[in-house]
Structures are given as structure tokens and as C-alpha cells.
Amino acid sequence: MKVIIAKSYEEMSRLAAEEIAKVVNEKPNAVIGLATGGTPVGMYKELIDMYKEKKVDFSQVTSVNLDEYVGLSGDHNQSYRYFMNSNFFDHVNIRKDHTFVPNGLAKDINAEGAEYDKKIEALGGIDVQLVGIGSNGHIGFNEPGEELDLGTHLTNLTESTIEANARFFASKDEVPTQAVTMGLGGIMKAKKILLIANGAEKAEAINKVINGKITTQIPASMVQMHRDVVVVIDEAAASKLENLK
Ligand code: F6R
């Protein structure tokens, strides 16, 4: 695991964008796994700037997103499809028909989740998977629990995730209580994992991911078993690190 501590959110965003651009520059038709939330907004801005400066080209890239809220259509302004279009896809030359986000309106979420995983395999797998982390240690929407799922599946969001995400909605009551998320198997099959985090509220979870035991109670701790992980965090998120492995 390679851990990079950035001086600021801006530096974290730039370094993360450079990691993604490197994969795309080495393999122009790369499959990039993407995430949403507050953390990657700056990284997407950097990638848009790099695209405008002709430092990266997304014309042959395919993207697959980690997750989507259940019950929100792609044009709902809090859906993750909407987030991806407005924060990234609309500003670069990726083909929209090469961008995939799980369908939060599917009748049978688990069946469509299995199709999503097959599609990723048919694409040749994910070259780099970006993941954020919840302060409770979730990645994607794989919440802490007794068991973790391998494939893309329906999941219930925990109270702490609903509370954390309420900041994006008019009120907490509007936050969907369920999501469809790639499972740990899908994330771990990616050839490379890029984990990003900023802010003191992520510091404890980050320390557990880097220095703790592997446990389903901190789903992100599983990435310790992956052979190519880059963690890019700002100083606040690094503030509780006991050791650097
Ligand atoms: C989003 C996702 C989530 C977020 C996590 C952190 O696609 O999969 O795991 O990465 O909840 O969210 P932020 O970045 O808003 O703190």
C-alpha cells in the first residue's frame, strides 16, 4: 500500500487526478471505476482542467461507478448519475454511452447488479477504481456488518451514512435509505485501487484502514489485501495515523 499525505485538499485532488490520468495515458481505452460524494469533487475539477490542457483524453475511456441511491432517477439532482454528469462527464470528451452507473430504479436490484458485474467483466475489468471512505469505514456503500457482499447488490444505508449525506439534501428525511453498490469482490478485482480522503472526520477510519486488522466492521480495511493500492489523503485525514506501513 502506497500512502501519500497531501498538504491540502487541493493537493490531494491534484495527486489523485494525476493517478487517474496516468492510467488513461498508459491505456487510452481504460475502464475507470468512479465514486461520488464530497471528496472527489476537486479531483474531477483537476481532471477537467487536465483535459482542457490536453494532458488527458477520455474519448476511448469507459467508466463504471460504484453506487447509486435506490429510488432516485438519473435526473434527480442528488442521484449519482446526475452528480457524475454535472461534475465530470459533461465537461470532458468521454462518450456518455460509455459511462455506467448502477440503476437505482431497477425492479430487481440484485439481478441488475449481477448484470452490472458481468458487464464489467465483459469490458475486461476495471483498470483503476477510485474509492472514498465513510467515517464509519464504508467503501462504496458496503456498510460495516457481520458479512460483506461480493457482487453489486442492494444495501440498507446505516444511520451514520444517512446523517453524513443529509448535507446534500433539503432534509435528512429525503435521504434514500437504500442504495445499490458494487460489492467488495467488484472493488477488489480492480487492477488498481485509489483511495482518497480528506478532513479530520475521516482520520480514525483511515488509521484503521492503514494500521488496523482486516474486519468486516471496517469494510475499507479489505483493501489491505490488494496488491496495488494508492491512498491519497490530506493532513487532517492523516492526523490519527499511528504508523505508516
Ligand atoms: C460514493 C461512495 C461513498 C463515499 C463516502 C464518502 O460513491 O461510494 O462510499 O465515497 O461515503 O463520502 P464523502 O466523499 O461525501 O465524504
- 3-class DSSP state of 103: coil
Q: Provide the mean pLDDT of the chain.
A: 97
Give the pLDDT confidence of 84-125 residue by residue, as tens digits.
999 999 999 999 999 999 999 999 999 999 999 999 999 999
Query: What are the structural domain ranges in the chain?
Result: 2-222
Average pLDDT over residues 176-197: 98
In angstroms, the CA 1 to CA 233 distance is 13
pLDDT at 244: 72
Ligand 1 centroid vs 219 CA: distance in angstroms? 13
Q: What is the mean pLDDT of residues 132-143?
A: 98
| Burial (CB count within 10 angstroms: exposed 0-12, middle 13-18, buried 19+), residue 56 | buried
Question: Could you confirm whether 75 is annotated as catalytic?
Answer: no
Residue in 56, 36, 192 with CA at minimum distance from that of residue 128: 192
The amino acid occupying position 30 is A
User: Rounded to an integer, what distance in angstroms lies between the CA atom of residue 23 and that of residue 83?
Assistant: 23
Dist. CA 139 → ligand 1 center (Å): 7
Class of the CATH-defined domain 2-222: alpha beta
The one catalytic residue in 65, 103, 136, 198 is 136
pLDDT digits (tens, 9 = 90+) for 11-43: 999 999 999 999 999 999 999 999 999 999 999
- Grid coordinates belonging to 155: 444495501
Q: Report the atom number in ligand 1 closest to the C-alpha of 199.
A: 16
Q: What is the pLDDT of residues 65-76, one digit of tens each?
A: 999 999 999 999
| Section 213-229 average pLDDT | 98
